[in-house]
Structure 1
Amino acid sequence: MSYTIKNPVIPGLAPDPSILRVGEDYYIANSTFHWNPGIQLFHSRDLANWELIGQALKDDSTIDLRGTSTPAGIWAPHLSYDPQSGLFWIIFSQMINMDGRMFDTNNYVMHAPSMNGPWSTPVYIGSIGFDPSLFHDDDGRHWVVTLEWETRFGYEQPGTIVLEEFDAENEKLFGPSYRLSKGGTDRGCVEAPHLYKHDGRYYLMTAEGGTGFGHGVVLQRADQITGPYESDPNNPFITSTPYYFFRKNDPDSNRFDLYNPDAPIQKAGHGSLTDTPNGEWYVAHLMSRPMPGLKSTLGRETGLQKVEWTKDGWLKMADSSTLAKDTTPGISNVTPDPTMNDLGMEDQFDGAELDMHLLSPYRHATEDWASLKENPGKLRLHGGQSFFSRFDVSILAARADSFVFDAETKLDFKPIHFSQSAGLMLYYDNNNWLFLRKSINDETGQNFIDILQAKQGKRTDLQRVKLTLPADQTAVAFKCHVDHQTAQFSYRLSDDQSWQNLGPALDITFMSDEAIDGFTAMMVGIGAWDAFHHESYADFDYFKVVSQDSRGEHFDGLQ
């Protein structure tokens, strides 16, 4: 049976994919930035349909993301499997600070007997740079390649790809460092190194051109792991901008002038290679689908391209071009399983744990503020700091995974002070969000609902006239309908009432990577704050996101 893989295979917040096959199972790990638990893990049997199976840092308390600025946090986790020990490995960066282009980072490794864990406590291995990956050679040795970040004035930036040997038993680097490459093209911004071995040669795959519109997947090779490495003459062999340009030493990653209106998908780069049991090959890569005005509210997503080895030992896309496509051929003799489609989510809050799609920014969701036990059958959110905070906020959100979706919740909330609020939200980071909330006018004692906006750190009251609720109305249901560039908020006071719009449809493109100069994504969720005594709480009956399948949808972003 033949089938077609539609890109993105993982829509929404799913950047920097690292793909791994063990047997007939495929896995992908993605960056999660300031969201807990860190490191999303997805599973597939056909490469077309993926499901979220958990997060590697779910039970970890050693990685503290409180205070993380956008887009720092957990970067580029790399998956590998060591057949000699039977262990799965993840190596990742925690970006601490990006000010002054110092890029202070800590790199960690962890392992598990299966992709479902339990994962070991992350072990610190160094701060040379970021985007490390771990390679297990067939001679039993282990190696780490990393972008060594250059901070000196007068030196070529961003730096050099560095190779170091890794002691897997003691979980530490040792021996000399080998500087392998400053890049295989003139695009600059080399990063995301991955090592592979094929037909006796070592292949170094990197991302170049910045993580914006000039992005690409680049391949170099050597006879010895320490080099010297030569560049594929057709580099980058996967990109959205398949023409030559020189941007070495240019720190700009967005590169808006390199937008290609003829590309089906944008920003294709940061590749990771896998094979299939029958000898076919694929590259997972990040991608984006900016809407008109070059606004990517869904952030950087995961795409796939089928590739082949050429007679002279390089990789090329299956259609022999270098332009990344929104579709690619599926695996031969495999029947796809659409039931693994991961779009949308729903949590009735009647289980022992939160749905794994729900993440919390900056701090972990713990029983003291996100409780499923205090009022069984409901989620009790205790009000935290305001949503402008990067520390103790009470927010649970899922990735927005489609251009068109409906998010819905119902809550019971009894505020007593004007600084207490709870409701439904669209959220990019602490400075950019929309909040449909219930609160109180404590001068009149009347509860009301309205909409607040944070845009580039400025707070705006979008509802000058508050919608006052009946005196005995403690429960209210909220809904948000997102249709590409706009969001329509609505409410109802009882289950048999029709939804009533609150205000006009609102522009949401300010919560995009390009508007914020970031590279995370918009999320959708619920939250509560309390700047009074942190004593109030809201009981949520459920939270659900119903998404349309917009995979394969793309735009002329300049319209």
Structure 2
Amino acid sequence: MPLVRNPILPGFNPDPSILRVGDDYYIATSTFEWYPGVQIHHSKDLANWELIVRPLTRKSQLDMRGNPDSCGVWAPCLTHDGEKFWLVYTDVKRKDGSFKDTPNYIVTAPSIEGPWSDPFYLNSSGFDPSIFHDDDGKKWFVNMLQDHRRRPRSFAGIVLQEFDPAVGKLVGPKKNIFLGTDLDLVEGPHLYKRNGWYHMLTAEGGTGYEHAVTLARSRDIWGPYEVHPQNPILTSKDTPFVALQRAGHGDIVDTPDGKTYLVHLTGRPTTQDRRCVLGRETAIQEAYWKDDWLYIKDGPSPSLHVEVPGVRDDSKYWAEQNYTFEDGLPKDFQWLRTPEPERIFATDNGKLTLFGRESVGSWFEQSLVARRQTHFSYDAETVVDFSPTDERQFAGLTAYYCRFNFFYLTVTAHSDGQRELLIMSSEASWPTGSMKLPFADPVQIPNEGKVKLKLEIRGRDLQFFYALEGDDLKKIGPVFDASIVSDECGGHQAHGSFTGAFVGMACSDLNGTVLPAKFDYFVYRPVQHTTDRYEI
């Protein structure tokens, strides 16, 4: 069979849940605070994947206004019971400090495109929920269990309870069926049944460089569960120099001809500081069964190249993306938190209009639309028409991770009304969330006219450019450290930042007058650069 190079879903696509229905494969991944919720990709051959739907699209399903960075939709589980699709997800409202608020929900749909139902609320006892459809017709719900009394971490095991679809509730007894292993931080449970064994696949070790996939089994769904004799079955923790690090949080799928594959999250760190700018990505590994235990081929360390049924068309990966707005917001783009996008943007006459709302660091309503960074080196470009009157109004081009980490080339104005270009940078401001001061010197520009804005990222280096109408592009500001826009600098300590780098357009009006900015187009141009060692 042909080889595919990992990851199969590059860029921010963590916590994969994989499913096959007939000849169609689907992977659902976490979206955290980015709206709409959950990305679902489709493939026929495990090599070529296309984003086809984000099912959580309305307020009744998901409202993340006020959710902190790296909260929101965690670890969805996508299944099919022979009649319809089931999607289970958490909407995390708080994760830092002594408590976590983690309501869990289920939505269903007759087809993958929808329509997706309003949610059933299940519980809030932990996160990473999944549902298992047993061969006797029963449906079982599992999630990691939290106990805020445990120190230093609140991970208390995996809890099981029956779900009754007739009443839309969890029913009957619940039990902590698996406490995890010495790897600690047990989460991400998935149940399977094979040859009379119930198999429990979990994630352990946290989502950083000690991450791992653990497998345990039992003849009874309630346990007790015995741990795999070669636990963990997948991890990078003992091989710090392989390309795929942070390997963990997996799910398995069988092909029509009986082969088994495991998908898992991974990260590709760059620089001596081991920073994962592209966030946590989705990779695939070939697996096999022996003595009713699952093993990873050539494991437990993940392989960079894996045999799959299909041949990937890498030309699509390297193709320049020229986005226009005649048909609405292109599917590659998302926004932050709000289920009311009409308050932050509109597409009309082929333009994207962003309505100036709250600051670029707001957790409630900020006008920012962006796409994932999926390459270590790329160019991004747009043209903006914006007429600010003071320093509280600004719009432009941003490389963005979260409120702690971003670079932002803005069209703004001095307090006297003179329009200017200003670069804002947060520069790894944990724990304050403050921008780095002083800013680079602003550049005065005429008070009317469109402005072209561009950024170039070449591995670690980020350079901004601008051009007035009819002029050539000019550099503006210093060369910045692009690796700061990464998980490791995302405003939290270990295991705390979960998304990935985005690039896009933003607009703020801190005067509250909702001043609009109009964008003509957006270009994302991948670049093959010699420093990008682990590029696909």
Q: What TM-score does the superposition give when structure 2 sets the normalisation length?
A: 0.93
Corresponding position of 2:125 = 128
Q: In the TM superposition, what is the alpha-carbon distance from 1:509 to its structure 2 partner?
A: 2.3
Question: Counterparts of 2:330 and 2:152 in 1: how far apart (Å)?
Answer: 47
Corresponding position of 1:278 = 257
| Counterpart contact for 1:265–1:554, Cα < 8 Å | no
1:430 aligns with 2:408: no
Q: Deviations over 1:147-171 (max 9, x none)?
A: 1112224798511111111112322
Q: In the TM superposition, what is the alpha-carbon distance from 1:412 to its structure 2 partner?
A: 0.8
Corresponding position of 2:505 = 526
Corresponding position of 1:245 = none
Q: In the TM superposition, what is the alpha-carbon distance from 1:226 to its structure 2 partner?
A: 1.4
Please list, as runs of the form range in 1=range in 2, the aligned pairs for 1:85-96 lying within 5 A after superposition.
86-96=83-93
Q: What secondary structure, in the 3-state scheme, does the structure 1 residue paired with 2:97 have? A: helix
Question: Counterparts of 1:34 and 1:3 in 2: how far apart (Å)?
Answer: 36
Amino acid at match of 1:323: S
Question: Counterparts of 2:258 and 2:289 in 1: how far apart (Å)?
Answer: 11
Q: In the TM superposition, what is the alpha-carbon distance from 1:336 to its structure 2 partner?
A: 4.5
Compared with structure 1, are the counterparts of its residues 448 and 146 closer, same or farther at alpha carbon in structure 2 (3 Å cutoff)?
same
Q: Deviations over 1:197-228 (max 9, x none)?
A: 11221110000111111111111111121112
Corresponding position of 1:501 = 475
Question: Counterparts of 1:438 and 1:385 in 2: how far apart (Å)?
Answer: 16
Q: Deviations over 1:231-258 (max 9, x none)?
A: 111111111024xxxxxxxxxxxxxxxx
1:302 aligns with 2:282: yes
Q: In the TM superposition, what is the alpha-carbon distance from 1:261 to its structure 2 partner?
A: 2.9
Compared with structure 1, are the counterparts of its residues 112 and 549 closer, same or farther at alpha carbon in structure 2 (3 Å cutoff)?
farther
Q: In the TM superposition, what is the alpha-carbon distance from 1:341 to its structure 2 partner?
A: 4.8
Partner residue of 2:174 out of 167, 174, 177 = 177
Question: Counterparts of 2:474 and 2:347 in 1: how far apart (Å)?
Answer: 30
Question: Counterparts of 2:296 and 2:333 in 1: how far apart (Å)?
Answer: 36
Q: In the TM superposition, what is the alpha-carbon distance from 1:338 to its structure 2 partner?
A: 5.1
Please list, as runs of the form range in 1=range in 2, the aligned pairs for 1:109-128 lying within 5 A after superposition.
109-128=106-125
| Counterpart contact for 1:413–1:537, Cα < 8 Å | yes
Corresponding position of 2:22 = 23
| Counterpart contact for 2:405–2:489, Cα < 8 Å | no
Q: Deviations over 1:424-482 (max 9, x none)?
A: 00111122211101111241x432112111232122356543211134x4201111111
Please list, as runs of the form range in 1=range in 2, the aligned pairs for 1:330-369 lying within 5 A after superposition.
330-331=308-309, 334=310, 336=312, 341=317, 345-351=321-327, 353-364=328-339, 366-369=341-344
Structure 2 unaligned residues grouped into runs of 5+? none
Q: In the TM superposition, what is the alpha-carbon distance from 1:194 to its structure 2 partner?
A: 0.1
Please list, as runs of the form range in 1=range in 2, the aligned pairs for 1:447-466 lying within 5 A after superposition.
447-455=419-427, 456=429, 457-460=433-436, 463-466=439-442
Q: What secondary structure, in the 3-state scheme, does the structure 2 residue paired with 1:504 have? A: strand
| Counterpart contact for 1:87–1:114, Cα < 8 Å | yes
**Identity over the aligned pairs, expressed in percent?**
39
| Counterpart contact for 1:383–1:529, Cα < 8 Å | yes
Partner residue of 1:290 out of 250, 257, 269 = 269
Structure 1 unaligned residues grouped into runs of 5+? 243-259
Partner residue of 2:228 out of 226, 232, 245 = 232
Q: In the TM superposition, what is the alpha-carbon distance from 1:360 to its structure 2 partner?
A: 1.0
Compared with structure 1, are the counterparts of its residues 533 and 132 closer, same or farther at alpha carbon in structure 2 (3 Å cutoff)?
closer
1:403 aligns with 2:376: yes
Question: Counterparts of 1:240 and 1:464 in 2: how far apart (Å)?
Answer: 40
CA RMSD of aligned residues (A): 2.2
1:189 aligns with 2:168: no
Compared with structure 1, are the counterparts of its residues 60 and 234 closer, same or farther at alpha carbon in structure 2 (3 Å cutoff)?
same
Amino acid at match of 2:132: F
Compared with structure 1, are the counterparts of its residues 460 and 100 closer, same or farther at alpha carbon in structure 2 (3 Å cutoff)?
closer
Question: Counterparts of 1:340 and 1:318 in 2: how far apart (Å)?
Answer: 28
Corresponding position of 1:326 = 304
Amino acid at match of 1:406: D
| Counterpart contact for 1:44–1:340, Cα < 8 Å | no
Compared with structure 1, are the counterparts of its residues 547 and 464 closer, same or farther at alpha carbon in structure 2 (3 Å cutoff)?
closer
1:370 aligns with 2:349: no
Question: Counterparts of 1:553 and 1:112 in 2: how far apart (Å)?
Answer: 41
Question: Counterparts of 1:501 and 1:433 in 2: how far apart (Å)?
Answer: 19
Q: In the TM superposition, what is the alpha-carbon distance from 1:344 to its structure 2 partner?
A: 6.7
Q: What secondary structure, in the 3-state scheme, does the structure 2 residue paired with 1:143 have? A: strand
Question: Counterparts of 1:173 and 1:510 in 2: how far apart (Å)?
Answer: 43
Corresponding position of 1:107 = 104
Corresponding position of 2:522 = 543
Question: Counterparts of 2:405 and 2:266 in 1: how far apart (Å)?
Answer: 22
| Counterpart contact for 1:193–1:204, Cα < 8 Å | yes
Q: In the TM superposition, what is the alpha-carbon distance from 1:411 to its structure 2 partner?
A: 1.1
| Counterpart contact for 2:65–2:365, Cα < 8 Å | yes
| Counterpart contact for 2:459–2:532, Cα < 8 Å | no
Q: In the TM superposition, what is the alpha-carbon distance from 1:63 to its structure 2 partner?
A: 2.0
Amino acid at match of 2:14: P
Compared with structure 1, are the counterparts of its residues 153 and 161 closer, same or farther at alpha carbon in structure 2 (3 Å cutoff)?
closer
Compared with structure 1, are the counterparts of its residues 347 and 155 closer, same or farther at alpha carbon in structure 2 (3 Å cutoff)?
closer
| Counterpart contact for 1:382–1:537, Cα < 8 Å | yes
Corresponding position of 1:66 = 65
Q: In the TM superposition, what is the alpha-carbon distance from 1:343 to its structure 2 partner?
A: 7.2
Corresponding position of 2:365 = 392
Q: What secondary structure, in the 3-state scheme, does the structure 2 residue paired with 1:178 have? A: strand
Q: What secondary structure, in the 3-state scheme, does the structure 1 residue paired with 2:18 have? A: strand
Compared with structure 1, are the counterparts of its residues 343 and 78 closer, same or farther at alpha carbon in structure 2 (3 Å cutoff)?
farther
Compared with structure 1, are the counterparts of its residues 114 and 451 closer, same or farther at alpha carbon in structure 2 (3 Å cutoff)?
same
| Counterpart contact for 1:51–1:340, Cα < 8 Å | no
Q: In the TM superposition, what is the alpha-carbon distance from 1:178 to its structure 2 partner?
A: 2.4
| Counterpart contact for 2:18–2:25, Cα < 8 Å | yes
| Counterpart contact for 2:35–2:334, Cα < 8 Å | yes
Question: Counterparts of 1:537 and 1:155 in 2: how far apart (Å)?
Answer: 47
Corresponding position of 1:202 = 198
Q: What secondary structure, in the 3-state scheme, does the structure 2 residue paired with 1:514 have? A: helix
Q: Deviations over 1:338-396 (max 9, x none)?
A: 57759774421111x211221111223522330113xx211111101111221111100
Partner residue of 2:413 out of 411, 434, 440 = 440
Q: What TM-score does the superposition give when structure 1 sets the normalisation length?
A: 0.89
Compared with structure 1, are the counterparts of its residues 17 and 393 closer, same or farther at alpha carbon in structure 2 (3 Å cutoff)?
same
Compared with structure 1, are the counterparts of its residues 544 and 227 closer, same or farther at alpha carbon in structure 2 (3 Å cutoff)?
same
Q: Deviations over 1:397-429 (max 9, x none)?
A: 111111011111111111122211110001111
| Counterpart contact for 2:357–2:512, Cα < 8 Å | no
Compared with structure 1, are the counterparts of its residues 122 and 18 closer, same or farther at alpha carbon in structure 2 (3 Å cutoff)?
same
Q: What secondary structure, in the 3-state scheme, does the structure 2 residue paired with 1:474 have? A: coil
Amino acid at match of 1:177: K
Partner residue of 1:269 out of 248, 256, 259 = 248
Compared with structure 1, are the counterparts of its residues 343 and 432 closer, same or farther at alpha carbon in structure 2 (3 Å cutoff)?
farther
Compared with structure 1, are the counterparts of its residues 491 and 61 closer, same or farther at alpha carbon in structure 2 (3 Å cutoff)?
farther
